[in-house]
Structure 1
Amino acid sequence: MTTSGTSGLLRKLEDVARASFLELFFDVVFVFALRALAQQLFNNLTWSGAFQALVLLVAIAWVWTLTARVTGQLNPRRPPVQLLVLATMVGALVLSAAVPEAFGKTGLVFAVTYLAIQIGRDLFLVVLLRGQEVQHVAARSAIWHAATAVPWLAGAVASGTTRTALWTLAVALIHVAWWFSYPLPGLRRLGGGDLPVGGEYLADRYRAMFVIGLGEVILALGSSLTDRGFAADRTVAFMMTFAVTALIWRIYIFRAGEDIGPAIQASANPDRLGTLAGYAHLVMIASLVTASVGAELVIDDPLGHPRATATVTILGGTALFLAGRTLLQYLVFSSVSRSRVIGLLALACLLPPMLLLPPLINGFAAGAVLTGIVIADNIRVRRHPAPISPPGPHRPSNT
């Protein structure tokens, strides 16, 4: 059932292929968010610090993901929709500002702001979309986000490992709920048709988020060179790190990054494939945040004494990117190229000797692995270009 007062708020699925200017404006906030995450990781470059940064990244990415899915269904030219997005932007800015001390004195600010964004958006949609099917999805989302308020707020008033554990529980709980379509006792399970977002639109939004991640690396490069000066070794480190960033872009976009939209559309379960593609991109965004920190470490002291933290950050960030990109390739083609697996093995084999060498050499080693993958990709596609074939059953072709 629909009502005439709310039907104009929704966009037709087939009409949504690209993000609107409003959505691109919204994305700008997350440049600041990733910068804050990178700084938080840089200042606490330990295993526990990395895990804490991951928890914060998952929470922030979830704000972006749900907002992107909502704007994929709503007409961005309507004032209520614009108000919702702008309010979310303000909340996301506050959320990002709280990141550096989220596991310290600003923990309560982070938790309350996160919950206000998620629950506030859902309640706004419940009121705005009376009579629409999407209203029921928003209501379920609000209930589940309210349930996660317990570990979020309990963690905010706790400290140390207790906060980390409770917040990990909170982000895990909402993702499990989403995976099972926000189940509630006595109510039918939602299907993919209840959460409709076009494949091309999702692909466009995921690519935008990846570009934001690349932008964070570029920002770190420029800022580091500005702060440390144009010494010869730092200039070489700058050029090398930029080349590695360009290789990451090339590997991402080469086929799978471009073809994820058609793959989602071809799948018999596009919402599930779109969700998995989102997780693949989350892994790659995490790798770009790590690469940003690695860039700062390399430019800061290119030929300095070997540091295990620098080596693990540089090679580990590269491996993390390849892992996410490998998952994306599987989702698009139902196969994984050998060059990705060989690249991951090469990085693992390089780790022990690189622990004895300065950061600049670590960066060149990561770049060499990525260069080999780019060359292998070009050779493979000329000989045997893989057809788009997502895992599982496919939709019948219209041709």
Structure 2
Amino acid sequence: MAEPAAPESESGIRVSTLELFFDLVFVFTITQLTATLAEHITVGTLVDVLLMLFVIWWMYSGYAWLTNAVAPNSTTRRTLLLAGMAGFLVMALAIPEAFGEYGWLFGVSYLVVNLVHSALFLQAGPAAVTAMKRLAPLNILAALLVLAGGLLPEPWRHVCWVAAPLVQIAAGHLHRIEMHSIQAGHFVERHALVVIVAIGESIVAIGLGFSGVHLGLGEILVAVLGLCVAYYLWWIYFAGDDERSEHVLAGVQDPGRRARLALDAWGYAHFVMLAGIVVLAVGIKKTVGHAFEPLHWGEAIALSGGVALYQAGHALFLRMLGIGGWPHRVVAALVVLAAVPLGHVVAVAQLALIPVVMAAAAIAEDLPGARRAGNTEISSFGRTRD
């Protein structure tokens, strides 16, 4: 996903506003993927959405690693980054028909994104050029497979689409991982920002589902409960684990181990979390206007399954980093999945149970620490009086 450039300090680089602008363009792909899955909640559509999300996320991660090594601080670099943003935008527009009429457009845009990524890395000096000799051809091969999938008929279309992420996964292991150098502060902040923007974009996607819908009690309940679920998605990620994760990454001194951890925890685990955000947004959208009605099984599974995916992805993230709390995420994911039959009875009951489960898991995780803090405070007060 990424390439070298040796930062001199852990805190020297922070995320620029141009990178945040880039993230806003990228997150439009999340909106489009949500709309595509909401149109047809089937296993086939889910597979297509996950394939698109993986290849899109791979190159977003490539740009995150890129700006970690090459700051967009010149006109040439900013112009190239703008070209990459344009590729992401056109790609997002083509998503609804990426396996149909506009497959070629998605493929061409994706190839542009890859070529710009390679060109930008050439700005990072001789070490980056050496690294790109091995990684760039694999990334471009994956892009050509996506393009071929947009031009070929079935079953070759899906064969190419499945092959593309396999090539990308292999690329993460075939090049010299020890050549990568990661600025922990910038890297963690960049991924945290895209997560919060994606959660916010999911709220926008849900809000669009209210267009033309009469705002009664059921609709207001769905809106408020949807916001509560989004809040606990935020809580899971940002209630301290983001800071702890930065400390863990910064504490890994070996460049190869640090880069591998970055690839696994912020690459693969975050992919699962983003997939959960997409699926959850679909499930909540399907409750709009039907709060007191039963959901179809696919809709109820999407509602709980999205939260479960997010919890599972974050559990994997914490487990990879050796940070506690991941068992609470796993248990919460299983309990939320058990609520699927409730949605098949009445939608709002399932939607109401989900934030309750998430809150209970958060309280159960935080309670021991709060007790220890309280005992320490009492002990300190006692010593002061003595």
- In the superposition, the TM-score normalised over structure 2's length comes to 0.88
Q: Alignment partner for residue 106 of structure 1, among 90, 94, 102?
A: 102
Q: Alignment partner for residue 214 of structure 2, among 213, 229, 249?
A: 229
- Distance in 2, matches of 1:368 and 1:241, equals 12
2:287 aligned with 1:298: yes
Contact 1:98–1:107 (CA under 8 A) maintained in structure 2: yes
**Aligned-partner residue type, residue 234 of structure 1:** E
Contact 2:37–2:282 (CA under 8 A) maintained in structure 1: yes
Cα displacement string for residues 127-169 of structure 1 (whole angstroms, at most 9, x for unaligned residues): x45x520111223222112333453233222244532232121
Look up the SS of the partner of 2:295 in the other structure.
coil
> Equivalent residue for 1:257?
242
Shift >4 Å, 4+ stretches: 9-13, 334-337
> Equivalent residue for 2:344?
356
**Aligned-partner residue type, residue 73 of structure 1:** A
> Where does structure 2 lack aligned partners over 5 or more consecutive residues?
374-386
Contact 2:23–2:194 (CA under 8 A) maintained in structure 1: yes
- Distance in 1, matches of 2:9 and 2:108, equals 33
Q: Alignment partner for residue 152 of structure 1, among 115, 127, 146?
A: 146
Contact 1:31–1:215 (CA under 8 A) maintained in structure 2: no
> Equivalent residue for 1:368?
356
2:30 aligned with 1:34: yes
Contact 2:26–2:85 (CA under 8 A) maintained in structure 1: no
Taking a change above 3 Å as real, the CA distance of residues 290 and 191 of structure 1, as seen in their structure-2 partners, is closer
> Equivalent residue for 2:184?
199
Taking a change above 3 Å as real, the CA distance of residues 337 and 99 of structure 1, as seen in their structure-2 partners, is closer
**Aligned-partner residue type, residue 127 of structure 2:** E
Look up the SS of the partner of 1:77 in the other structure.
coil
> Equivalent residue for 1:187?
none
- Distance in 2, matches of 1:212 and 1:245, equals 11
Taking a change above 3 Å as real, the CA distance of residues 337 and 26 of structure 1, as seen in their structure-2 partners, is closer
Percent same amino acid at aligned positions? 25
> Where does structure 1 lack aligned partners over 5 or more consecutive residues?
1-8, 182-189, 386-399
- Distance in 2, matches of 1:26 and 1:334, equals 30
- Distance in 1, matches of 2:364 and 2:177, equals 40
Q: Alignment partner for residue 87 of structure 2, among 71, 91, 99?
A: 91
Contact 1:122–1:138 (CA under 8 A) maintained in structure 2: yes
**Deviation (angstroms), 1:124:** 4.9
Contact 1:13–1:73 (CA under 8 A) maintained in structure 2: no
Cα displacement string for residues 214-237 of structure 1 (whole angstroms, at most 9, x for unaligned residues): 112210232223432311110111
- Distance in 1, matches of 2:106 and 2:64, equals 21
Cα displacement string for residues 282-319 of structure 1 (whole angstroms, at most 9, x for unaligned residues): 11111111121122111232122331011100010011
**Aligned-partner residue type, residue 244 of structure 1:** V
**Aligned-partner residue type, residue 365 of structure 2:** D
> Equivalent residue for 1:380?
368
Cα displacement string for residues 347-387 of structure 1 (whole angstroms, at most 9, x for unaligned residues): 34333x325312211211222211211211220332469xx
Look up the SS of the partner of 2:345 in the other structure.
coil
Q: Alignment partner for residue 64 of structure 2, among 52, 65, 68?
A: 68
- Distance in 2, matches of 1:216 and 1:124, equals 28
**Deviation (angstroms), 1:88:** 0.5
Cα displacement string for residues 25-60 of structure 1 (whole angstroms, at most 9, x for unaligned residues): 111102321111111111121011011001111111
> Equivalent residue for 1:56?
52
Cα displacement string for residues 227-286 of structure 1 (whole angstroms, at most 9, x for unaligned residues): 323111101111111111111111111232232111111124111111112221111111
Look up the SS of the partner of 1:315 in the other structure.
helix
Contact 2:62–2:117 (CA under 8 A) maintained in structure 1: no
- Distance in 2, matches of 1:381 and 1:150, equals 51
- In the superposition, the TM-score normalised over structure 1's length comes to 0.85
Cα displacement string for residues 82-120 of structure 1 (whole angstroms, at most 9, x for unaligned residues): 111111011111111110110110001111211121033
Contact 1:326–1:336 (CA under 8 A) maintained in structure 2: yes
Q: Alignment partner for residue 331 of structure 1, among 304, 314, 320?
A: 320
